[in-house]
Amino acid sequence: MPPRPDHSRRRRTHVHVHAARAMTTALLLAIGVFLATAPPGESASASIVVSATIVSATSLDSSGCATGVAGRTSFGSLQPGSSTVSSIDCDVAFGSTNNAAQLQVSQGDGAGAAMWMPTTGSLDATFDGPSGTGNGKVIIPVTAFDGAGYAAAVQPDGNTVVAGVCGTASPYPNLFCVIRLLPNGTLDTTFDGPSGVANGMFTFAQGTQGSDWLHRVTVQPDGKILLLGECLSGSAPSIHYMCVARLNADGSFDTAFDGPSGTGNGRIGINGPNDMWSYDLALQPDGKILLAGKCSNGGNNDFCVTRINGADGTLDTTFDGPSGTGNGLVSFPIGSSHDDGSTVLLQPDGKIMLGGACYVASYAEPCFARLNADGTYDTAFDGPSGTGNGKFIMTGTSYDDVIYDGLLLPDGTLEFGGRCYQTTADICLVRLLGTTGAPDPSFDGPSGVGNGLVVYTDASSDDRVWNVGLQPDGRVITVGTCGSPSYVCITRVNVDGTRDLKFTGPAGSSSGIAAYPIGTGASSGYGVAFASDGRVVVAGGCQNGSSIYAVCIERLDTGASVSNYSNLGGGSDTDWASSSTTTNTFGACLRGVAGAASATWPTTGSCTSVDGANWNVIPAIPVTIASTAAPVPDPPTAIASLRFGLRTSTSQPAGSYVAPLVFTVIAP
């Protein structure tokens, strides 16, 4: 199986402002320019229109809506057959400095399931695939040669995009391949690809040599699909280069995505004088795209990151880096030998976090860098020594320690996964403080002495984490490969670095590392994504009846759920304190508004138990709960105060339940 490897000031003569959709207003300035170049008695004139778009400056602060762990409001423990209302107001401040604004709320899972229990690791039997008998596992041989799914993404409609590498006959060994599955695991026949007849899965050559390795897939907010990988040039000398493709929702190429050459037609390449490899990408809120990996300097490898414009894929020349001359492509060393970047994260403040492996005395160590939005070093990111000035190498275990992937946690810390080698290869995780990059001393793991670096030594002899994902409850899911012959292994990590022993998997593991063999031979897990209802999707490769590897996908089921609130009998008889033994329900109440806010939901001074009309469903589609009629300052002074209610039935299964909510501010 393929291994994963200019604003001039002019006199304004006329202004017309009109509201545009969503968060922008359009500003048109018409300027008359008179040219006295014709003979007397004749005249000539010309006019131009200068246009600008002014973004509606919305702001949102939900920090007043959390207790305990950042980003979480907790009911605490609740007995079956009882009810409770949150005791602290969830205060959400919102507004726009140049417009009216609306505050909306929706279920973050996208499916309207009010509360649900994260998976214990069991397979989802409804995910059956083309055969109808998958029972949580789908195997798709795309070609007659080796293939593997290296990445997955779940669309808002519940369809899953799996991307990877599929083999072909020599001399073109590897092509990009893309598959889209419906929620039941069958092929989405409307996903036709560039040919128009693909019926759910297709391959294409991204480069000219046919040696294309796809590492990441991301679905943009507009529904377009980004694919990132590395390609090999066909001209001598052949070198590796970063390559990106963008597909429309039907799988056809986005021909506006032309890249630096202007001729990409949906497939672009970014190269330099030496080899370049790209392994990860991140989308900025402004639509620009970050591509990260490693670049050869002619001798060793350096960390490198490229930023391209989202509209057309051209290089963002404002991204200059430490040298000030990057013009969209930034590379830099961290140590004195090979520095291999592998993952990129975008923080809410716009800073760019990079992770990977740097070689010291022939052995790899975890290493990291953080850049400002222009690509210069963030000198506050100092690491363990306090002297990193934007980049540092972290001392790991005895031998090779490699970082493959990372994510940003709700409390601002940064968690990375990979492989640490002592006497064997073991799963290892690193957690850094988001402020300085110092190791998080509370992340201790099973040993209790991890101090930011946790190694799991008891799975098998050859274990690693390829991808990490975040559950709505703030816990981390890792996906990787364990053992020899290899099998898919998944862990769920508690906030202190210990493994969740309730995550048992289909075979009932008691160690917190669950095995997921798929097919009849060796298998590996490479990518993880979360479905809209909290189910975990894993992409990988597996042997099935032969030595040839196929694209393999597994989906894990969620646990029990709590229903959305409903005014069961109408009027005011839905009382959170009533002694129902069969009802489980979750809802929200708007206790009041303050500042410049006006309520859209009904309000009551006490959301305690008496009036069902004051309790509301939180739907999957955003609903407006409060608004402002005029601009408000930043920080915003318009506040909506909510409380939440929960009732459980006597038969409610034990476990931890979550209700992931999303607050959105829009300026009409």
**Which pLDDT score, from 0 to 100, does residue 14 have?**
25
Q: Respond yes or no on whether the N-terminal peptide bond of residue 156 is cis (omega within 30° of 0).
A: no
Same domain, 263 and 240: yes
- Domain assignment present for 139: no
Same domain, 36 and 113: no
Q: Which of 270, 297, 324 is the last residue of a domain?
A: 270
Dist. CA 293–CA 291, nearest whole Å: 7
Single-letter amino acid code for the residue at 346: L
Report the domain count for the chain.
Answer: 3
Same domain, 28 and 80: no
Mode of pairing for the β-strands spanning 487-493 and 201-204: unpaired
Radius of gyration of the chain (CA): 27
Residue 296, pLDDT above cutoff 90:
yes
Same domain, 266 and 168: yes
Question: Token pair of 298, please?
Answer: 């002619």
Tell me the DSSP string of 499-540: B-TT--TTTT-SSSEEEE--SSS-EEEEEEEE-TTS-EEEEE
CATH number of the domain that residue 581 is part of: 2.60.40
Same domain, 575 and 657: yes
DSSP 28: E
Tell me the DSSP string of 297-356: -SSSEEEEEEEE-TTT--B-TT--TTTT--TTEEEE-SSSS-EEEEEEEE-TTS-EEEEE
| Contact assessment for residue 88 and residue 94, using Cβ atoms and an 8 Å cutoff | no
Same domain, 74 and 36: no
579 versus 622: which is more confidently predicted? 622
- Domain assignment present for 553: no
Residue 170 CB: number of other CB atoms within 10 A? 8
The pLDDT confidence band at residue 264, using thresholds 50, 70 and 90, is confident
Dist. CA 495–CA 32, nearest whole Å: 63
Same domain, 43 and 97: no
| Contact assessment for residue 300 and residue 294, using Cβ atoms and an 8 Å cutoff | no
Single-letter amino acid code for the residue at 602: P
C-alpha distances in angstroms, 391 versus 15, 191, 385, 516? 48, 43, 11, 37
Report pTM. Answer: 0.81
| pLDDT single digits (tens) 115-154 | 888 888 899 989 988 877 778 999 998 877 888 999 999 9
| Contact assessment for residue 342 and residue 287, using Cβ atoms and an 8 Å cutoff | no
C-alpha distances in angstroms, 275 versus 206, 208, 293, 302, 334? 17, 15, 11, 11, 18
Average pLDDT for residues 639-647, to the nearest whole number? Answer: 89
**Which pLDDT score, from 0 to 100, does residue 202 have?**
92
Length of the chain in residues, anyone?
668
Same domain, 171 and 100: no
For 206-265, the three-class secondary structure string (H helix, E strand, C coil) is CCCCCECEEEEEEECCCCCEEEEEEEECCCCCCCEEEEEEEECCCCCECCCCCCCCCCCC
- Domain assignment present for 9: no
Closest CA to 92 of 107, 103, 77: 103
The pLDDT confidence band at residue 576, using thresholds 50, 70 and 90, is low
Question: Token pair of 641, please?
Answer: 């105060």
Q: On the CB side of 504, how many CA atoms lie within 13 Å of its CA? A: 7
- Domain assignment present for 311: no
Same domain, 66 and 94: yes
Dist. CA 45–CA 37, nearest whole Å: 9
Tell me the DSSP string of 553-591: EEEEPP--EEEEP--TTSTT---TTS--SS--EEEEEEE
Q: Respond yes or no on whether the N-terminal peptide bond of residue 635 is cis (omega within 30° of 0).
A: yes
Q: Which domain holds residue 45?
A: 15-55
| pLDDT single digits (tens) 1-30 | 444 653 232 222 222 222 222 332 222 222
**Which pLDDT score, from 0 to 100, does residue 56 have?**
57
Same domain, 23 and 95: no
Average pLDDT for residues 331-354, to the nearest whole number? Answer: 95
- Domain assignment present for 589: yes
Q: Which of 210, 239, 270 is the last residue of a domain?
A: 270
Question: Token pair of 584, please?
Answer: 């489980």
Residue 328, pLDDT above cutoff 70:
yes
Same domain, 620 and 656: yes
Same domain, 239 and 173: yes
- Domain assignment present for 37: yes
- Domain assignment present for 43: yes
Q: Find where tokens 């001393």 sit.
A: 441
DSSP 39: P
C-alpha distances in angstroms, 412 versus 214, 274, 407, 408, 437? 29, 36, 10, 6, 11
| pLDDT single digits (tens) 531-553 | 877 789 999 999 987 888 999 99
**Which pLDDT score, from 0 to 100, does residue 15 have?**
23
Residue 13 CB: number of other CB atoms within 10 A? 9
Q: What does pLDDT average to over the chain?
A: 83
- Domain assignment present for 416: no
Single-letter amino acid code for the residue at 659: A
